[in-house]
Homo-oligomer: A and B are copies of this chain.
Amino acid sequence: MHKNLDRRDHYAVIFTSKLKHPAHGYEEMAFQMEELAKKQPGFLGVESARSDLGITVSYWTDQEAVKNWKEQLEHLKAQELGKSKWYDWYKVHVCKIERAYQFTSTD
């Protein structure tokens, strides 16, 4: 079954990363940051997967919420640690959602 998701004009932040090996302490910090993100104003959801690459997509009500999270103090510290210790590279895409839908199996 397909249905439209009420996410139009909300924001998605796509964070794609490649870790250095080893990346000691990374998993713990990633978990902490996800928990912290959930408490921010305007937070709508987060999804993560990691194979060779890691992809984390967080969803936000508006641009202001994205900006506030980027500049949140603990998050800034984590970003600095990430750059010095954990990430080989990362890319960030800040996007405005124009259309969203989902399918759920009826099996």
Chain copies in complex: 2
Contact in complex: B94, A96 (CB < 8 Å): no
Q: Identify the closest chain B residue to A52 (Cβ).
A: B49
Contact in complex: A95, B98 (CB < 8 Å): yes
CB neighbours (8 Å) of A54 from chain B are 49
CB neighbours (8 Å) of A101 from chain B are 91-92
| Cβ of A58 to closest chain B Cβ, rounded Å | 11
In Å, the complex CA distance between A51 and B93 comes to 21
Annotate A64-107 by CB proximity to B: 1 below 8 A, 0 otherwise.
Answer: 00000000000000000001000111111111111111111101
Set B12, B20, B103: member contacting A90, Cβ < 8 A: B103
A16 part of interface (Cβ distance < 8 Å) = yes
